[in-house]
Amino acid sequence: MKEIWNNYSGIIAIIGYLLLLFIFLKLKKRKKPEQVTEKAEPLDLNDEYKTVAALVAAIECRNEEHRNVRVISVKEVG
C-alpha cells in the first residue's frame, strides 16, 4: 500500500482536488435564488392614489439612490 501511495500520490492528489472542485461548483449552482417574475400592468393614470404613490415612490428612491429610477408596478397593500 505504501508503495502505491508513493508512486501515485500526485495523481491521487489531483483526483482529490478535482473531486472537491466538482462538489464546490455543484453546491454553488444550487444556492442561486430563483427569480420571481410577476406580470407588470401599466399604471392607470385615472387612479389618483396609484399615480401619487408611484410619483412619491420614484422621488423617494431617486433621493436615496442618486440615480434614475423607474416604477414598474404599483400595488395596494392592506
pLDDT per residue as tens digits for the range 15-58: 999 999 999 888 877 665 666 666 666 777 888 888 888 889 88
CA 51: distance to chain centroid? 29
What is the DSSP-derived secondary structure letter of residue 32?
Answer: S
Residue type, 11: I
pTM of model > 0.85? no
User: Looking at residues 61-78, what average pLDDT do you find?
Assistant: 81
- How far is it, in rounded angstroms, from Cα 38 to Cα 36? 7
